[in-house]
DNA sequence: TCTGGGGTCCTAGGACCC
DNA sequence: TCTGGGGTCCTAGGACCC
């Protein structure tokens, strides 16, 4: 018997849940995002495979998606419904003799001891489908990185195994940002160092990576290139570090008093979330996005951990003023000074 | 008519202390 | 007038993920 990691990933999760409750949508391009109004600011959360065929992708502005696929059905994000569906899936996974680590609405790792991980994967797929009507893919590996990577090669709905033996034949010639945890910024820096493939990254000197990316991230990037991942599958319930709310305004706010007022409102929403959690807040942060798209953040430790909504709102307003005072000092790309307008406002509470 | 919302973790640098 | 080394706490922001 050997230790294996399975990565379970639901196919087009949000779109699939919408099709489940509206079967007449099956086979049609479905796009879930924002409040479903393509004339408003918002992005695609999930596109069905039919919509993806038109070039619609997650993260794409809804307007762009509507241009690419005008006949798609555009639906608003209905969070409570997806949370229920997700909980059903995760409860189903926990029926298996495995450690289950939930990493999102539509993804989980299973740590299991078995001689036939493919058989386990087939049973997981079948039981999830029977219990929820949802289809999933399963990646198999000796660690979480290999399993997560494998899932990507089987989409949609496949079962793929990657181990140390097959890591380089699948990943070796791909660019580093094909790796989980390495994005475009890091890939660009790696390219500047002459590292343009996963294999080259795997062969890079840890000391060189540490000098460029820091003592923790540097060696971690190297390990990732080699397909190594010592992190265990953790079944404990996740304990949130923070709670936040943010809002993008349909029209930028031009009046600072209006910004203050919205900040107080958002802070009270966060305070209500935090009150549900029943945990004390140690720090309060504010995020501002100046138009056109420049994001700044600031945070402040509370004098003492608190739960009171008024205290959280007062702290948020204090932090907001710090950002506001910097507003005229924030240069524009063209160097011409003028008033900054506010596109987004967010408030975050960090737990003690 | 560009570019959501909710998270996590790490780094760098300054303040401050011994 | 010059100026060590280590440690901790704090803030701003970078990067990435779903």
Which pLDDT score is estimated for A327? 73
Which positions 160-179 on chain A have a beta carbon less than 7 angstroms from any atom of strand C?
177, 179
* pLDDT confidence band for A330 (50 / 70 / 90): low
Cβ neighbours around A162 below 10 Å, total: 25
Dist. CA A243–CA A281, nearest whole Å: 10
Dist. CA A81–CA A278, nearest whole Å: 24
For A187-193, the CB contacts below 8 A with 24+ separation are A189/A213, A190/A221
- Total count of residues recorded for chain A: 352
Run of H or E including A153: helix A144-154
Q: What is the nearest nucleotide to A187, using C1' and CA?
A: C15
Calculate mean pLDDT across residues A86-113. Answer: 97
Inter-CA distances, A226 with A3, A5, A139, A143, A276, Å: 19, 17, 18, 12, 43
Which positions 20-39 on chain A have a beta carbon less than 7 angstroms from any atom of strand B?
34, 39
Q: Is the CB of A45 under 7 A from strand C?
A: no
Taking the model in full, what pTM does it have?
A: 0.94
Run of H or E including A275: helix A256-277
User: Does residue A345 register a pLDDT over 70?
Assistant: yes
Q: Residue A292, preceding bond cis, omega within 30 degrees? A: yes
Between CA A333 and C1' B8 the distance (Å) reads: 30
And the tokens for A122?
């087939």
Single out the residue of A4, A2, A8, A19 nearest to residue A127, CA to CA.
A8
Answer whether A271's CB lies under 8 Å from A313's CB.
yes
Q: What percent of chain A clears pLDDT 70, i.e. is strictly above it? A: 97
User: Does residue A336 register a pLDDT over 80?
Assistant: no
Q: What is the nearest nucleotide to A183, using C1' and CA?
A: C16
Please indicate whether residue A107 is annotated as part of the active site: yes
User: Does residue A147 register a pLDDT over 80?
Assistant: yes
Calculate mean pLDDT across residues A290-303. Answer: 92
Between CA A185 and C1' C14 the distance (Å) reads: 10
Between CA A286 and C1' B7 the distance (Å) reads: 15
Q: What confidence tens digit (pLDDT) does each residue in A191-233 have?
A: 999 999 999 999 999 999 998 998 889 999 999 999 999 999 9
Between CA A209 and C1' B10 the distance (Å) reads: 15
Single out the residue of A176, A151, A173, A174 nearest to residue A162, CA to CA.
A151
Q: Is the CB of A199 under 7 A from strand B?
A: no
Calculate mean pLDDT across residues A118-134. Answer: 98
Q: Is the CB of A109 under 7 A from strand C?
A: no
Q: Is the CB of A9 under 7 A from strand C?
A: no
Answer whether A77's CB lies under 8 Å from A33's CB.
yes
Q: Which residue among A18, A50, A101, A107 is the active-site one?
A: A107
Q: What confidence tens digit (pLDDT) does each residue in A241-274 have?
A: 999 999 999 999 999 999 999 999 999 999 999 9
């Amino acid at each position: 018997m050997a230790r294996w990691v399975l990565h379970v990933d639901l196919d087009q999760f949000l779109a699939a849940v919408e099709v489940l409750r509206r079967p007449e949508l099956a086979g049609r391009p479905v796009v879930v995002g924002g409040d479903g109004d393509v004339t408003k600011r918002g992005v695609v959360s999930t596109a069905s495979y039919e919509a993806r065929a038109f070039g619609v992708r997650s993260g794409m502005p809804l307007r762009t998606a509507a241009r690419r696929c005008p006949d798609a059905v555009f639906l608003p994000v209905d969070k409570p419904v997806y949370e229920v569906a997700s909980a059903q899936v995760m409860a189903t996974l926990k029926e298996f003799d495995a450690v289950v680590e939930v990493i999102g609405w539509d993804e989980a790792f299973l740590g299991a001891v078995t001689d036939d991980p493919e058989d386990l994967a087939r049973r997981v797929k079948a039981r999830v489908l029977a219990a929820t009507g949802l289809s999933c893919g399963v990646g198999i590996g000796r660690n979480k990185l290999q399993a997560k990577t494998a899932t990507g090669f089987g989409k949609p709905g496949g079962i793929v195994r990657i181990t140390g033996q097959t890591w380089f034949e699948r990943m070796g010639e791909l660019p580093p940002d094909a790796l989980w945890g390495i994005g475009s910024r890091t890939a660009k820096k790696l390219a500047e160092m002459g590292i343009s493939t996963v294999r080259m990254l795997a062969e890079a000197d840890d000391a060189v990576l540490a000098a460029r990316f820091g003592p923790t991230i540097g060696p971690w990037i190297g390990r990732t290139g080699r397909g190594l991942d010592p992190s265990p599958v953790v079944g404990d319930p996740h304990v949130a570090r923070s709670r936040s709310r943010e809002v993008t305004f349909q029209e930028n706010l031009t009046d600072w008093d209006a910004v203050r007022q919205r900040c107080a409102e958002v802070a009270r929403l966060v305070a209500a979330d935090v009150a549900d959690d029943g945990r004390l807040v140690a720090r309060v942060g504010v995020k501002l996005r100046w138009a056109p798209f420049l994001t700044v953040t600031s945070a402040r430790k509370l004098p003492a951990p608190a739960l009171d909504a008024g205290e959280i709102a007062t702290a948020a307003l204090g932090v907001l003023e710090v950002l506001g005072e910097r507003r005229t000092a924030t240069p524009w790309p063209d160097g011409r000074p003028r008033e900054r307008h506010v596109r987004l406002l967010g408030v975050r509470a960090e737990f003690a």
